[in-house]
Amino acid sequence: MKIRPFTIDDYDAVLDLWRRAGEGIRLRRSDQRAEIAKKLAHDPDLALVAVDDSDSEEKFIGAVMGGYDGRRGLVYHLAVDPAYRHRGIGRALMAELERRLRARGCLKCYLLLVRGNPAAEEFYRRQGWEDMSANIMLMGKELQ
């Protein structure tokens, strides 16, 4: 396995991975190719893919996107191919993303987790993430 930057050329393979990853990844308008291209232009070093390069063709086995606004980091869409789970791929992607965020000066990072996914919740807890929902109300608004 190797971890490398996620480019727009990887979009179709990563979209397929997100679709196969399970209910924790909820695809929205912001996950369309044009929107991901904007994200990659803004934070190209914070979007990563894990590929199995043991064959002549890369197989996409994991992906994560991060963001940094100059104050806080945010993690988007960590996904690992179900056939490759429990091999440290998600942990490696998160560690590399966190390293890159720290290198930018990021002091604190957030992520959103879909409720009812105990495996994902436990994964993040083992990586040192904590549930802040007792102190924070999540609000959102669609901008047309």
d(CA 122, CA 129): 9
32-42 pLDDT, tens digit per residue, is: 999 999 999 99
| Percentage of the residues of the chain whose pLDDT score is greater than 90 | 75
What pLDDT score does 144 carry? 77
Would you say the C-alpha torsion 75, 76, 81, 85 has a positive or negative sign?
Answer: positive
Which of the residue ranges 1-5, 45-49, 133-137 would you say has the lowest mean pLDDT?
133-137
What pLDDT score does 82 carry? 94
Taking residues 24-30, report their average pLDDT. Answer: 90
Residue 115's pLDDT band, with cuts at 50, 70 and 90, is confident
C-alpha closest to that of 81 among 101, 59, 96: 59
Contacts of 98 (CB under 8 A, 6+ apart): 109
Q: Is 82 exposed, middle or buried (CB count within 10 Å of its CB: 0-12, 13-18, 19+)?
A: exposed
CB 22 within 8 A of CB 82: yes
What pLDDT score does 114 carry? 85
Taking residues 10-35, report their average pLDDT. Answer: 93
Burial string for 40-62 (b: 16+ CB within 10 Å, else e) reads: beebeebbbbbbbeeeeeebbbb
d(CA 63, CA 11): 11
What pLDDT score does 116 carry? 85
134-143 pLDDT, tens digit per residue, is: 888 888 878 8
Domains annotated on the chain, with CATH: 2-126 (3.40.630.30)
pLDDT at position 98 over 80: yes
